[in-house]
Amino acid sequence: MAKTICDWSKKDLEKNSERLMELTRNPCFFCKKCGRVSNSKKALCRSTAFPKQNIEKVDFAA
């Protein structure tokens, strides 16, 4: 079984930064244990879907 991003070390985060960006773009799930987010349920150790009504597009450039 592959490591979830919850278990990635600082070195893993640096080494796999491109993959991390792919997994965290437009997140639909969050980890109940550590709070990390992902667009893939399998990328997190204790994933839970965001409630539909709480998901909104946020413009961080504003």
Tokens of 59: 């413009």
Give the residue carrying structure tokens 């504003």: 62
Tokens of 21: 């960006």
Tokens of 43: 């990328």
Distance separating alpha carbons of residues 53 and 62, to the nearest angstrom: 22
Confidence band for 12, pLDDT divided at 50, 70 and 90 = very high
Q: Confirm whether 5 is domain-assigned.
A: no
**How much is the average pLDDT of 46-58?**
76
Q: Confirm whether 9 is domain-assigned.
A: no
**How much is the average pLDDT of 8-34?**
95
Please, what is the average pLDDT of the chain? 88
Q: Confirm whether 62 is domain-assigned.
A: no
Query: How many domains is the chain built from?
Result: 1
> What pTM, to 2 d.p., does this model score?
0.75
Domain limits at 46?
19-51
Sheet of 47-49, strand order: 37-38, 29-31, 47-49
Confidence band for 49, pLDDT divided at 50, 70 and 90 = very high
- Report the percent of the chain where pLDDT is more than 70: 82
The DSSP output letter for 60 is T
Q: Give pLDDT, residue 60.
A: 63
Q: Confirm whether 14 is domain-assigned.
A: no
